[in-house]
Amino acid sequence: MHPAILWRPVKNLDIQCEACSHFCYLKEGEKGKCGVRINQKGRLYTLVKDKIAALNLDPVEKKPLFHFLPGSKTLSLATMGCNFACIFCQNHSLSQPPKKDGTILGENISADSILQLAKEEGALSVSYTYSEPTIFIELVLEVSRKAQVEGIKNILVTNGYQSPKALEELGPYIQAANVDLKSFAECFYREYCQASLKTVLNNLEHMKKLGWWLEITTLVITELNDSPQELKNIARYIQNYLGKETPWHISRYHPSYKLNNPPTPLSTLEKAYEIGKEVGLDYVYLGNVPGHMSESTYCPACGKVVIARRGFTLLEINLKEGKCAFCDYKIAGDFSNLN
């Protein structure tokens, strides 16, 4: 158990956690909705700072980030726990046990050891991913500060439910984020995630102002968020508030955790892809559909393939200093590793 940041005393021994936008009000001995932050004698503690439950080397494309150091490796880490309880969670064995039965597994691995491993493996970044990094923000800050000194970049893969103060804390150390935009309906967020769409939208705009490179992911779930109108609303929001150069990853759902709706048909995903392009987004990708043409990056100006991919593997790169090799159009993102 380690002292946590981002909380305030309220009265007597009651406190409020300010790490995420649930702002849990905690009486003495209570844990927050995430199950990994606890009020002990009027002070907030984290139960996961020294409990790394997953540490893997991934292609950065797996986050997914397609416009950030493409083809590079990222050292991905997570603790258990999440501030959401999505009934379709694709990572529930990591995210949900702390709040269900208090299980918190993991190893104490120092920030120095993590960075040593990243360097040995040639990773250009560390990703805070798999579960929800906001609930282990103390670990994220410790590792990301040191990573920055070492010239290693930091990536957040998140549901976008931080508090504004948490975003300000993270701001200087994070260079890129993949953020879920799970739906464009408040009732979806309320019913399936016990959260609020408006907060996620505010945070996306906040992250943009912080200067992070953003890519957006929508898991398209059969019958829940797959209507053309809803997909159009998401695409329009990205274009109007984040910019048409912001990549949109449309990901295929498979039955998971408490939801047994059928897997998303390819036709629904292809319709979503068309919607994204019709609305005017420059970069739209389908995820979990290996071998599909939409895995590659096309130049918005001349239409030629600038990065050909299959799954997470790069097959061909036609970029020169971040510009299309055919027409010189600037492709949005960080391609500094290819120069």
User: Which residues contribute to the site for ligand SF4 (CB under 6 A)?
Assistant: 17, 19-20, 22-24, 32-34, 37, 83, 134-135
| Cβ atoms of residues 181 and 161 within 8 Å | no
CB-nearer residue toward ligand SF4: 15 or 77? 15
Nearer residue to ligand SF4 within complex by CB, 83 or 239: 83
Q: Which is nearer to ligand SF4, 2 or 310 (CB)?
A: 2
| CA distance to 246, 286, 328, per residue, from 242 (Å) | 6, 19, 24
Q: How far is the CB of 134 from ligand SF4 (least distance, A)?
A: 6
Q: Are 73 and 55 in contact (CB under 8 A)?
A: no
Nearest residue (CB) to ligand SF4, 79 versus 134: 134
- Nearest Cα neighbor of 243 from 21, 70, 67 is 67
The smaller minimum CB distance to ligand SF4, of residues 59 and 81, is found at: 81
What is the pairing mode between strands 284-287 and 248-252? Answer: parallel
What contacts 82, CB < 8 A, 6 or more positions away? 34, 89, 95, 96, 99, 131, 132, 135, 159
Edge-first strand listing for the sheet containing 305-310: 297-298, 305-310, 313-317
Minimum CB distance to ligand SF4, residue 89 (Å): 15
CA dist., res. 221 & res. 224, Å (int) = 5
Q: Please state the φ and ψ torsions of residue 158, each to the nearest 5 degrees.
A: -145, 160
Q: What is the DSSP letter of 124?
A: S
Least distance (Å) between residue 36 CB and ligand SF4: 7
**In angstroms, what is the minimal distance from the CB of 214 to ligand SF4?**
22
CB of 302 to ligand SF4, least distance (A): 46
Q: State which residue, 7 or 298, has the beta carbon closest to ligand SF4.
A: 7
Helix (H) or strand (E) holding 115: helix 111-120
* Residue 24 or 307 having the CB closest to ligand SF4: 24
CB of 16 to ligand SF4, least distance (A): 8
What type of residue is 315?
L
Contact 248, 284 (CB under 8 A): yes
- Smallest gap from Cβ 63 to ligand SF4, in A, equals 22
